[in-house]
């Protein structure tokens, strides 16, 4: 069997804050159905809130898929972005940091790239969320978007893991 490239799947969000748990729910449903050879190359990390250290700890040869719920797109809609494109997209959107003294995703990716000496390779897959209230489960709109979210995550895992797809 052709050896595959390692991929780290970073699953962001919290299950007890409404649609913020979408990535956890999607990955929980996705992993059991993945073929064994693909699963063998995936290292799953759960991460409530992404920090730059999560990117700095990535081995150089490892691709990265970050999955999370997002705002700014329609609830239930799915978006896939190359990590390298996010800093530029953030700047064009004029995004200012909003929470937790944490650097925004684009700045985290830029800082990690500067410190690592090369770009962080991989993808971000997000699903639009509507409600992030405390003690709630996923909303109906996001639940209905989970199949597409899972499919998008799986597609990125395969693209990054399989040598026939030298995209990373």
Contacting positions for another protein (CB under 8 A): 14, 48-49, 51-53, 56, 94, 96-103, 107, 110-111, 114-115, 134
- For the bound state, the minimum distance from the C-beta of residue 132 to another protein, rounded and expressed in Å, comes to 10
> Is the Cβ of residue 3 or residue 94 nearer to another protein in the bound state?
94
> Is the Cβ of residue 12 or residue 78 nearer to another protein in the bound state?
12
- For the bound state, the minimum distance from the C-beta of residue 14 to another protein, rounded and expressed in Å, comes to 8
> Is the Cβ of residue 133 or residue 163 nearer to another protein in the bound state?
133
Question: Is residue 153 within 8 Å of 26, Cβ to Cβ?
Answer: yes
- Residues with Cβ within 8 Å of 99's Cβ and at least 6 positions away in sequence, in order, are none
- For the bound state, the minimum distance from the C-beta of residue 162 to another protein, rounded and expressed in Å, comes to 32
- For the bound state, the minimum distance from the C-beta of residue 125 to another protein, rounded and expressed in Å, comes to 21
> Is the Cβ of residue 40 or residue 44 nearer to another protein in the bound state?
44
Question: Is residue 77 within 8 Å of 127, Cβ to Cβ?
Answer: yes
């Amino acid at each position: 069997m052709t050896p595959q490239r390692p991929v780290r799947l970073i699953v962001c969000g919290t299950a007890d804050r409404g649609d913020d748990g979408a990535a956890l729910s999607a990955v929980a449903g996705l992993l059991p159905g993945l073929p064994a050879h693909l699963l063998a190359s995936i290292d799953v990390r759960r991460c409530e809130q992404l920090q730059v250290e999560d990117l700095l700890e990535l081995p150089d040869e490892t691709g990265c898929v970050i999955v999370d719920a997002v705002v700014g797109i329609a609830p239930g809609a799915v978006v896939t972005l190359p990590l390298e494109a996010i800093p530029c997209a953030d700047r064009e959107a004029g995004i200012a940091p909003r929470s937790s003294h944490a650097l925004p995703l684009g700045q985290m990716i830029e800082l990690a790239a500067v410190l690592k000496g090369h770009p962080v390779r991989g993808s971000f897959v997000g699903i639009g969320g509507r409600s992030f209230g405390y003690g709630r489960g996923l909303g109906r709109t996001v639940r209905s978007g989970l199949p597409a979210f899972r499919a998008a995550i799986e597609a990125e895992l395969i693209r990054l893991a399989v040598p026939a797809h030298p995209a990373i």
